[in-house]
Amino acid sequence: MSDIDIRRAQEADVPAIVTMLADDPLGRGREDTSEPLAKAYRDAFAAVDADPNQFLAVMTDGGQVIGTLQITFLAGLSLQGAWRGQIEAVRVAAGRRGERLGQRLLEWAIEKCRERGCRIVQLTTNKSRQDAHRFYDRLGFKASHIGCKLDLKA
């Protein structure tokens, strides 16, 4: 475990991130891992990378990407002008699950939100991800909300 690092993603990490997004019961049907990687992923990476309120992170082991998540820092008037850190697209590579790497990644992200002065860390998780619910509960998250999505392409 000694070579594990968590850092800001670079463009060269995008294929490995997309592979992890796709390697998932819900992600499988919605990502496109064909090569060369679709331009939409490169464009999305450029938009995230250019935004000072976005932090796309990768966890690496000996240089190999083994995990990812995205943090968005959100300003708002609610809660007396509190900043929120929102976590999305959390994945650990298939071959590296069960090593508590997800916990390490989340604890790192929570600390990042604290450093940025966030009052709240928030995320949503699909109702079908039972293991994820227990995982976030152990990290101290309260499942206080319902997350609603409207698909504009449906």
Residues from 96 through 135 that contact its own copies (CB under 8 A): 110, 113-114, 118-127, 133
Q: How far apart are CA 61 and CA 82, in angstroms?
A: 35
Look at the alpha carbons of 21, 52, 75, 118 in this order and tell me if their dihedral is positive or negative. positive
Q: How many residues bind its own copies (CB under 8 A)?
A: 65
Residue with Cβ nearer its own copies (101 or 110): 110
Query: How far are the Cα atoms of 86, 140, 149 from residue 110, in angstroms, in the given order?
Result: 10, 11, 24
Among 1, 36, 95, 152, binds its own copies (CB under 8 A): 152
- Across 80-104, b (16+ Cβ under 10 Å) vs e yields eeebbbbbeebbbbeebeeeebbeb
Spatial strand order in the sheet of 83-92:
4-8, 54-61, 64-74, 83-92
The piece of 57-65, 95-103, 136-144 that touches its own copies (CB under 8 A) is 136-144
Residue 125 CB coordination number (10 Å): 18
Residues from 10 through 69 that contact its own copies (CB under 8 A): 14, 17-18, 21, 27, 30-32, 38, 40-45, 47-48, 51, 53-54, 56
Residues from 65 through 94 that contact its own copies (CB under 8 A): 70, 72, 74-83, 88-89
What residues line the site for its own copies (CB under 8 A)? 14, 17-18, 21, 27, 30-32, 38, 40-45, 47-48, 51, 53-54, 56, 70, 72, 74-83, 88-89, 110, 113-114, 118-127, 133, 136, 139-153
